[in-house]
Each structure stands twice: as structure tokens, then as C-alpha cells.
Structure 1
Amino acid sequence: MRIYGVTGWKNAGKTGLMERLVAEITRRGFTISTLKHAHHAVDVDQPGRDSYRHREAGARQVLLASQNRWALMTELRGAEEPSLQTLLDQMAPVDLILVEGYKREPHPKIEAWRAAAANPLIAPGDPTIRAVATDTPLDLDRPQFPLDDTAAIADFILKETGLCP
């Protein structure tokens, strides 16, 4: 499986770009999965639900299944956060996995950057950032795309991953 990242600081437009890229690349006939890193405690379950109660009682894993989807929740219970590779190994085969976050990992990435967020660019010090999607032209040594030019960004990623010539 090929992986490509979308990274950047908070309020840079990462999630919106991910959403548009998933829609654009699947529209072109490719299968896509996503993996998102959260720096804060996150819970996809809801207090009071049976699955939540199972986890609270001490279950290490809870698999919740319905006719439309299933979700496997794993409680770390004090264990170290799994590596990106460990998580990728859990994913079903697809053409491309888009990874949001994991800015310090060695996979290729595009950085989302907005001037109004007033965060420093990551790209100048990180060769794994292959391009920048921005709302402002920048003086950089790598490709730049308008943040909302989803088709061009998708073309770049598909070419970089070898999915399209």
C-alpha cells in the first residue's frame, strides 16, 4: 500500500484538504483509507452505550458491528502509543492511505499552510514535505499549490505515489 501524508499546524486546513482529497481521488476510481493522529484524548464511543460500558469494565478490545459498518476499539491501558507503522499494518489493503498528522514520521507529505494561522512553515527544515498547499505564495524550494486546488494536489500525490504517470 502507498501512503502519503497531509501535515501542518492547527488551523492550517489539513482536515478540509484531506476531505477534498478523499472525495477527488475516490472519484477517479482509486480506493482510499485515512489515518488521523490526535494529540488529545479521543473517544469514538459514548458514555452509557453498551460498547462504552464493556470498555469501562476492562475489555482490552471491543468490536462494534452493524449492517453498515464495524469499528474495533483497542484500549491501551497504559501501554505505549502504537507507532504509525503498527497502525498502518492494521489497515485493509487499498490503493492509497492518506495520513493526517504524524508530521515527524518519514513518509512523504504535503504541508497545509495558512498565513492567518501565523504558524511557522515546517517544510524548510523537513525534506519529507514534498510540496506545500497554501493560501499565500511562498519563497520555497519545492512545489506549491493553492490550498483549494484539490485536483492539482491530487494529481501531484498520485504522481508521487506512482498511481498515475
Structure 2
Amino acid sequence: MQRVFGIVGRSGSGKTTLIEAMMPWFNAQGLEVAVIKHSHHRLEFEPPHKDSARFRNAGAREVIVASPYHYALFHNLNQNDEPLLVDLVQRLQPVDVVLVEGYRQADIPRLEVYRPSRGVEPVYPHTEQVVAIATDTPLAMTDRICLDLNQPQDVAAFIWEQVRARCA
């Protein structure tokens, strides 16, 4: 999983906002990006009375909903059958970089979004794979690379350099 790079942080730290803010930089470089987001919640994409939900409820293992603009694959899982990150990455079309929000236990390099002003403990002291921290406040006591959370283009460039170095 050489082209995979994770974004972690406590709930409400701004992980999704950072990923969204980095996308224009990746696009301006002509890079294709895929994003995998882990959730601990049951996912609902359509109301229960819509066709794809009816097919899933009737027992279909997979349902694809397609339009001229995009498509979605719904895959019903057996209980305790959560997919591994490596399996999800393999399902993706080839891209330049896969950003992963969550999947803290996966063995991938990652960046933590950390806001000291929130008063919440950071992840990086307990997670070896955190190679850098994107923060809105300079950190004095860390051995990790610190990036300015308010400069998403710099964070994106750092991630791309990390991905390129791993693929070299």
C-alpha cells in the first residue's frame, strides 16, 4: 500500500475539513486522489423505500446504483466482517494517492490533525505511524514534523512528497 497515506485525529479536530481543503492542490498538480473514510456508524445512503435499499433488504449481497454522473457500490457485510483497509484499497481504481481518514490500526504513514486549544489529548504519542502533525498552534515538545493546519496546500505537498518517496 505504497500510495496510501492516513489522516488521523480526535473527533471534531478537522480531518475531513483538511482533506477537503487539500483537494484543490492535488487537482492543480494533475494528481488523482481517492479517499477512504472509516465510520463506526451504520451507513444509510437512501431511505428504506428506495430501490437500492429494497434490494439490500431483500438479501442482495451487493447493489450498484449508477447514473451518468457517478455510481455507488453497496456491499452488505456479515456481522463482525468489517473489511480491512488493504481490501478496500484493492477495490479502488488506480490513483496517485489514497487518503485514509481513520483506520488507526492500519500500518500506514499518517498525519495527525491536532488542535491543542480543544484541550483533547493528541494521538501521536500513542501511534508510531504518525510522521507529522498539522496543527493551528506551534508545538514545542514533539519529535514529529509540524505543519500549519491553515496552509492545506503545504500539508498536501508534504503528503505527496512522502508518497513519492515511498514509491521511489
Question: Which residues of 2 match residues 1-165 of structure 1 at below 5 A?
Answer: 2-138=3-139, 139-162=141-164
- 1:58-110: CA deviation from partner (whole Å, max 9, x where unpaired): 11110111111111100003251011111111111001111011122110000
* Structure 1 portions without partners, runs of 5+: none
Secondary structure at 2:34 match in 1: strand
The more displaced of 42-51 and 87-96 is: 42-51
Which stretch of structure 1 is more off in the superposition, 54-63 or 77-86?
A: 77-86
Distance 2:26 2:125 in 1: 28
CA–CA separation in structure 2 for the residues paired with 1:23 and 1:39: 28
Look up the equivalent residue of 1:104 and give its one-letter code.
Q
Kept after mapping to 2: 8 A contact 1:3/1:107: yes
**SS of equivalent to 1:161:** helix
Counterpart residue identity of residue 56, structure 1: N
Q: What is the aligned-residue RMSD (CA, Å)?
A: 1.7
- Where does structure 1 differ by over 4 angstroms across 4 or more consecutive aligned residues? none
Percent sequence identity is 35
Q: Which runs of 5+ in 2 are unaligned?
A: none
Q: Is the 8 A contact 1:21 1:150 kept in 2?
A: yes
Distance 1:29 1:74 in 2: 31
Give the paired residue count.
165
2:103, 2:118 → 1: CA distance?
19
* Alignment-mate amino acid for residue 13 of structure 2: A
| Residue 118 of structure 1, CA deviation | 2.4
The residue identity in structure 1 corresponding to 2:4 is: I
Question: With structure 1 as the length reference, what TM-score do the two structures score?
Answer: 0.93
Which amino acid is the alignment partner of residue 149 of structure 1?
A: Q
- Give the conservation status (yes or no) of the 8 Å contact 1:11–1:117: no
